[in-house]
Amino acid sequence: MIAQATTGASTGLSVVDVSVAYRRDELVVRDASFDVPRGEVVALLGPSGCGKSTLLRAIAGLEPLSTGSVSWAGDDLVGVPPHRREFGLVFQDGQLFTHRSVGENIAYGLRVKRWPRAERDARVAELLDLVGLTGFTNRAVTELSGGQRQRVALARALAPSPRLLLLDEPLSALDRELRDRLAQELAALLRATQTTAVLVTHDEGEAETIADRVLRMRDGRVAG
Ligand SMILES: Nc1ncnc2c1ncn2[C@@H]1O[C@H](COP(=O)(O)OP(=O)(O)OP(=O)(O)O)[C@@H](O)[C@H]1O
């Protein structure tokens, strides 16, 4: 299927006929096509093993495409390494640097971009306020609860203002009650920051709470 290319200022992510294989002739993602206009939050919802994470990783540039293309604002991202895509990533377990403080974790992407110290500190404080962890700058990551860790992971991903946020089951490791609460918070935060995002989840309620639009995935295929 050929997806219609969109044009204009709202054009964000465009995934066209993407297939991904870990082994030759074994496609885990098959001909996936969808667009995410700027400011929209889309959920990829499907059962375990259907290929959601693989598709997200391919969008991030972490897995090579067997066929198809991933583009932003009409620019094909083939050959653009993950760290140059200006995409933010949040995984299930946050993947924070445990030997660094909360503030250092959040400032990481800003340091890479050589932001001056004062601006970095201000941005870290702003992000901590945004995720409800005001005053946590100097706390050790190892002392945080699971929910707090995921908030820090989110703050770290959002700090450099990524043009696209990729969320892979960001709440799955948390207990039900916290999960429901954070889903509501995340939905509000993504709206407030007008973030364009793709959320991978197997939880229907979470997808409905967080996303503007839900795309279902089964056996490597994305349905409407
Ligand atoms: N690095 C890898 N090498 C080989 N096969 C892999 C690799 N990663 C995933 N797979 C396989 O690809 C298929 C899709 O996995 P993927 O993680 O994308 O699914 P998923 O829908 O995200 O599932 P889950 O929610 O359980 O993570 C599975 O059959 C899985 O075993």
With a 6 A CB cut-off, is 22 part of the ligand 1 pocket?
yes
**pLDDT tier at 9, thresholds 50, 70, 90:** low
pLDDT at 5 over 70: no
Over the stretch 150-180, which tens digit does the pLDDT of each residue have?
999 999 999 999 999 999 999 988 888 888 9
Q: What one-letter code names the amino acid at 21?
A: A
With a 6 A CB cut-off, is 201 part of the ligand 1 pocket?
no
With a 6 A CB cut-off, is 51 part of the ligand 1 pocket?
yes
pLDDT at 66 over 50: yes
User: Measuring from atom 5 of ligand 1, which residue has the nearest CA?
Assistant: 22
Q: Which CATH superfamily, name and number, covers 1-86+163-224?
A: P-loop containing nucleotide triphosphate hydrolases (3.40.50.300)
pLDDT at 50 over 80: yes
ipTM value greater than 0.90 = yes
**Residue 164 to residue 168: CA distance in whole angstroms:** 13
With a 6 A CB cut-off, is 57 part of the ligand 1 pocket?
no
Could you give the percent of the chain with pLDDT greater than 90?
Answer: 80
pLDDT at 224 over 70: no
Q: How far is the CA of 28 from the centre of ligand 1 (A)?
A: 7
**Which of 52, 62, 63 has the most ligand 1 atoms within 8 A of CB, as the residue to mutate?**
52
| Boundaries of every domain in the chain | 1-86+163-224, 101-160
Helix (H) or strand (E) holding 26: strand 26-36
Residue 209 makes CB contacts below 8 A (sequence gap 6+) with 180, 183, 184, 187
Which of 4-13, 31-40, 66-75, 80-89 has the least mean pLDDT?
4-13
pTM comes to 0.91
User: Measuring from atom 3 of ligand 1, which residue has the nearest CA?
Assistant: 22
| pLDDT, mean of residues 71-92 | 94
